[in-house]
Structure 1
C-alpha cells in the first residue's frame, strides 16, 4: 500500500462516525478551515505524471523574489476589487514546488547572465557570461571558444523539437540570449559593444548569433524588443530610433534573406495579422530597446502586444507544427521596475506574467505539457509593517487598533513620518546624507512613485536568497525541496528525453 493510499484511508476513517476523535471540531465551519480541507482533498487525489513531455514551457519572472510573488498576488486581487491576500496566482495552483539556489559560480548575489546560463545548460557559471563554462574569464573572447555550454533550446533543435522565445526585454538581453548565444560578456549585444581586440579573436555579437543560428531548422518563433541591435547606425526604424550597429549590416534583412518564407513584424498591426498556421519562422521586434512596461504599453507609437498575447501566438504557431516544442517566456521588466525602485511597474508586469501563465495553462494539456514558472534571482524588495487586511499593497501602512479594527490614519515611524508596506534595501529611493522624505502628502500608489530605500545606490541591487519554482505536467513532481538552479535544466532535459 502506497503513502497516498494510506493517507486516503486515514482521511476516510476520520470521517466515519463512531471512531474515536472523528467528531467535528469547533472550527469545522470556519471559512479558512473548510478551504484548507478542500486543498487537502485535492492534494490527496493528486497523481504523479511520469510520462515523457511532448512540450515544455519555461516561464521566467526576471527578478521575481518570493516577496515579489506575494505582492503581485495581492495587487492582482486588489485590481479585481478584493482585499488581495486571498487571491491565487495562475502558477500558485500548480501542484509541485521547490526552492532554487541562485548564486553564480563566482558570486554570492547573482546576475541574470549567469543564472540564465545555469537553468538553460545545467551547469553554473560566472556572473556576466552567457553559456560559457566557469573557467572563462569575463570578457575574454579567446578563452571562450572551446568552452561553450549547450542550451536546452539548442538540444531541442538538434532533436527535431520546435522552439520559441518570448520576452519583454531586448531579444539580445542576457536572459533570452541564454537560449541561443555564447558570449564571455553579456553586454556584447551588437558589434559596437565588442572591443576591437576581442572582435579580432572571432567573437560574434549576440544579435548576429541569433541571425546565424542554424541548428535543426532554426528557432521557429521569437518575439521581443531590441530592434536597434539588428540595424545599422545609418538607419532609422519605423518608430524614429537609430540602429546601434557600426558594421553597416542590417540583420533584419539578413534574417529575411535567410528565411524567405519567414515573417518579420515590428508592431501590433503586423502581430495581429500573423497566421499561426503559416509555414516558416516568425520574428517580432516590437521596440528599439526593451518593450514597454505593461502600464505604459498603450502609449507606444507602433503599439505592442502584451506578454499574454505573445505567449498565445507563440503556442498557436508551435502547436501548428509537428514534433512538440520548447518555449521560453520571460517577464523581463519585473526586474527593471525593481532596479528603478518602482514597485508599481514591477508588480504590474508581474500581473502581466500571471496572465501569460494563465493563457498557457488554458491552451495546453497538463498530461503532455510541462510548465515551469520560476525566477532567475531575487531583489532587495521587502514587505513589512503590520498593515490591516486589504490595505493597498502600494499604499502607506495602516495598522489595526487594540480591538483589531483598522485605524483611520497611517502608522508613523519613530521619525514621525508614515511609511509604505513595500520598499527596498538599496536604490535611488534612499536619501543621501539627509533625513527620510516625508510621505504624508505623497501618493505612494502613483505609477512613478519610487519606494523608499535604506542604502543610496544608482540602481537597486539584486538579492541573493532562494527563489521559488512552480511546476505542472510530466516530470513536475521532480521539483521538491531545495535544489540548485541548474537542476531546472536537468528536469526539462529528462522530461523531453533529450541526450545526457
Structure 2
C-alpha cells in the first residue's frame, strides 16, 4: 500500500508496545463502543486530584503541533503498528487532564514561537519575534529592551536550587529553547553575525552568547540540541561536515568558552560521544549534534555521524537530574514538527510527532507522577487539514478512498489526499492542481497540496491542546490563556516568581 515507504522509514522510531487503551483491531460489534465508553468512564471516575508539591516539572512542547497534527499522528502511529489508527491512543492522549490553550500573541491573532514560548516559560504574552521580554518591547529594537526582561521558569528554578535542562531537536538558540534563558527583541539574533548595527551599539548580546554567559544558579545541568555553527567562529570548520563553517564574526569559540567555564562539564557533538556519556555522571553536559537543526526523525540515521533521538535525549536528561536533592525542571521540545509543516511535508511532521510522543512515554516510565508534573502542549498550530470522507483505516497519507478502495475525486475530477494545507509550497500560483493518481503521497519528500501558494506554510491560530498529569495538573482544564501554564507550574512546584 502507499504507506509502505513511510512505514519502513518510521519503523525505527516506534518503540515496541502500545498504550494500554489502544484498540488491537477495529471494533466489530454494536456493543463494543458502549463497553469501551463505560470502561473509560470508570477510569475517569477513579482519577483523583493530586495537590502535593511538584518536586519535578517536565514541560513538553511540540512546536506547531496543532490538534489536526496529533489526530493524524495518532492514526499514523496505530497504522504503523498494524492496529486501528482511528481508535489508537498516543501516550499523550492517555494523560488524565486536558484543556484548550489560546495562543494569540500581544500583537497578532496568529503567533510565532517567540511570544508563545515566552508565554509558556515566563507567564506573559508578548509580541511576535520577541523572546523573554514583555509586550512593551519593540521588535528588533535593542535600545529600549533592557528594562523589559521577564524571568523564565528555567531561570527561577536554577536560581532557587533545582537542577534544570533543555532538550530540543532544533538549534538550541531557536525561539522555544531560547525562551528558557535568553532575552532579546529579535528571535533571529542567534549569533553575532545577525545583530544589527543598532543592536551592537545599544549593547544587545546574541542568543548563543547569552547561553554560555547565563548566570543563574550553577548553570543548566543538561543542554541538548542542534546549532553548533552559532557557537563557532566563521573561520572554523564543522567537525562533522568539512564544508560547513561557523557563523560567528567576533572570532569567539563559544564551545571552548563553555568548556572553560564548566571545567567538570562534557561537550559532545555526535551519536558516539553521546553514547559514551554516563547517564548518572556528574557535571553539566552540552550536546550540539548538528551545525543547524537536528535531522528529521525519518532522516536521523541517514546523514552525518548520527545523533540521538528525542526520546534518548529525554531519558538521558532525566537520568542526569533526577537524583538532585531539590528536584528538577526540564523543557523538552519536538521542534521539527513545525519545520516539516512549513515545508508542506506532512509525513515528516507526523513522524516527528510520533517521536515526540515516544519521548513523553520515556519520561512517564522514569518518573513518579505523584511528585512530577508533566505537561504536554504546543506553542501554536499549523494549517494542516484532515478532510474528505476517507474510509476507516484508509492510510492517513494516502489519497481519499471509499470503503471499497475506490478513489473519491474532488470537483475537478482529480484525486486529493486526506491531508492538505491551507497555505504552502504545495500550491500553484495559477490555482491548478496536479493529478496525483500515480504519485507516492507517502514519500517523506512529498509536499501535500495547498490552497494558497507560499514559500513556507503558515502557522494557524486556533487553540492547541494541553495535556497533563501530576501535582495540580487538574488546573489545566477548560479553555485557558497560554501564559496561565507558567503560573500553574509555579503554584504546583512552589517556585517563587520573585526575581532572583
Distance 1:172 1:417 in 2: 43
2:7 matched to which residue of 1?
none
Corresponding residue to 1:480 among 470, 477, 483: 477
Distance 1:486 1:45 in 2: 29
Is 1:28–1:34's contact at 8 Å kept on the other side of the alignment? no
Distance 2:214 2:80 in 1: 42
1:464-475 correspondence to structure 2 within 5 Å? 464-475=461-472
1:355 matched to which residue of 2?
358
1:135 and 2:132 equivalent?
no
1:419 matched to which residue of 2?
416
- Shift, 1:33, TM fit: 1.1
Corresponding residue to 1:286 among 286, 289, 303: 289
1:358-377 correspondence to structure 2 within 5 Å? 358-377=361-380
Any idea what the Cα deviations from partners look like across 1:82-123, whole Å, max 9, x if unmatched? 231111000111111110000000001100001000110111
Distance 1:136 1:327 in 2: 27
Corresponding residue to 2:298 among 280, 295, 310: 295
Task: Structure 2 unaligned segments of length 5 or more: list them.
Answer: 1-27
TM-score by length of 2: 0.92
Look up the SS of the partner of 1:197 in the other structure: helix
1:451 and 2:448 equivalent?
yes
Distance 1:300 1:476 in 2: 40
Distance 1:32 1:434 in 2: 42
1:214-233 correspondence to structure 2 within 5 Å? 214-233=215-234
Distance 1:316 1:337 in 2: 30
Distance 2:128 2:278 in 1: 39
1:18-97 correspondence to structure 2 within 5 Å? 30-97=31-98
1:382 matched to which residue of 2?
385
Distance 1:144 1:374 in 2: 29
- Shift, 1:301, TM fit: 1.1
Look up the SS of the partner of 1:32 in the other structure: helix
2:23 matched to which residue of 1?
none
1:346 and 2:343 equivalent?
no
Distance 1:287 1:145 in 2: 32
Any idea what the Cα deviations from partners look like across 1:380-403, whole Å, max 9, x if unmatched? 11000111000000000012xxxx
Is 2:431–2:451's contact at 8 Å kept on the other side of the alignment? no
Is 1:276–1:320's contact at 8 Å kept on the other side of the alignment? no
- Shift, 1:51, TM fit: 0.6
TM-score by length of 1: 0.92
Is 1:83–1:391's contact at 8 Å kept on the other side of the alignment? no
1:495 matched to which residue of 2?
492
Task: Structure 1 unaligned segments of length 5 or more: list them.
Answer: 1-26, 400-405
2:269 matched to which residue of 1?
266
Look up the SS of the partner of 2:126 in the other structure: coil
Look up the SS of the partner of 1:176 in the other structure: helix
2:251 matched to which residue of 1?
248
Look up the SS of the partner of 2:86 in the other structure: coil
Distance 1:190 1:125 in 2: 22
Look up the SS of the partner of 1:56 in the other structure: strand
Look up the SS of the partner of 2:170 in the other structure: strand
1:108-123 correspondence to structure 2 within 5 Å? 108-123=109-124
Is 1:82–1:390's contact at 8 Å kept on the other side of the alignment? no
Q: Rg larger in 1 or in 2?
A: 1
- Count of equivalent residues: 468
Corresponding residue to 2:319 among 316, 319, 331: 316
1:161 and 2:162 equivalent?
yes
